[in-house]
Amino acid sequence: MRRIILPVIASIVFLGAASQCSAAVLSDTFNSENGGIPTLNYSGFANWNVTSGSVDLIGNGYFDFYPGNGLYVDLDGSTGQPGQLTSKLTFSPGSYVLTFDLGGNARGDVNKITDIALGSFSTSLNLASASPYQLYSYTFTTTGGNLVFTDLPGGNQNIGNILDNVTVTSTPLPSTWTMLIAGLAGIGFFAYRGSRKNAATAAA
């Protein structure tokens, strides 16, 4: 009985480790910023620093281009300089899933390009003004660092792409899954041995 219990406990520990490894590391809807009040050229973010240019906190009836989505961020503020948001959190090297909503500038301006980077991972999105507010998702392994959203220059420098609902989730390392599978295999093996032993004892 003891031989069965030990691998069960071990597997529970591994399951817990796996669930922790897949937990959200960063999740931000921007809805609680500035007490829920939109404002131009906002820099008081809880989870971000404005590291270049400026950004606007809009929505909730104020420049509300995507109604019903609370507050969100215009990545090109109202100072004529495209903005850059950098996470205050520094991410460790590892594997992550990044999701966010991004929409076009919705004001008839030229296409806007937003660069997204986290350590060795980077990508760019080129959105037309009428590009829908939609979910983007990326799974990647990175050297670690800060998550950065940067609107590039172009067109009206007071109009940018619209960012919302940023989530970064860590993914389990392969070694974690290997240990988990080994633990589950151990349960099966010891349970099988126990059932054979009981069968043999009953036959005797």
Q: What is the pLDDT of residues 101-143, one digit of tens each?
A: 999 999 999 999 999 999 999 999 999 999 999 999 999 999 9
Residue 70 confidence (pLDDT): 98
Which pTM value belongs to this model?
0.77
**What six digits make up the tokens of 188?**
């099966």
C-alpha to C-alpha distance for 45 and 30, rounded to whole angstroms: 8
Nearest to 123 by CA among 139, 104, 106: 139
**What six digits make up the tokens of 162?**
């619209």
Question: In the predicted model, is pLDDT for residue 180 greater than 60?
Answer: no
**What six digits make up the tokens of 151?**
């609107």
Report CA Rg, the chain.
Answer: 24
